[in-house]
Amino acid sequence: MVAVADAQVGIVNGQGPGRLCPKSEIQQRMLALDAALKTVEPPPGLADLHGALSRGTSHVRERRIRHDHFYAMLTFSESSWRERWKHLTSSD
């Protein structure tokens, strides 16, 4: 929700406001992210997010990691997102 608020109107020390992607793109990105995080061993590029999602919400570092990933998912253009996703999911 914080990433959505940041994208729509901006928040203190946030990255927004920004332009939200179409709902269908966000849905596809969320489904791909969910599938990648549910694998036995998530891709190395998603290790920080995987760890942040498994920890409490009171930790600032983990909140920032989650926010950065979700803000990008909500606002990156399709080409920027594809490049980021390729980087996050590559095994190199």
Give me the mean pLDDT over the 70-75 stretch. Answer: 96
Q: Round to whole Å and give the CA distance between 55 and 64.
A: 12
Q: What's the whole-model pTM score?
A: 0.88
Rounded to a whole number, what is the largest CA-CA distance in the chain?
37
Give me the mean pLDDT over the 7-15 stretch. Answer: 93
Per domain, the residue ranges of the chain are: 2-9+21-89
Q: Round to whole Å and give the CA distance between 90 and 51.
A: 18
pLDDT band at 27 (very low <50, low <70, confident <90, very high): very high
pLDDT band at 57 (very low <50, low <70, confident <90, very high): confident
Give me the mean pLDDT over the 57-77 stretch. Answer: 92
Q: What is the pLDDT of residue 59?
A: 84
Q: Round to whole Å and give the CA distance between 48 and 42.
A: 10
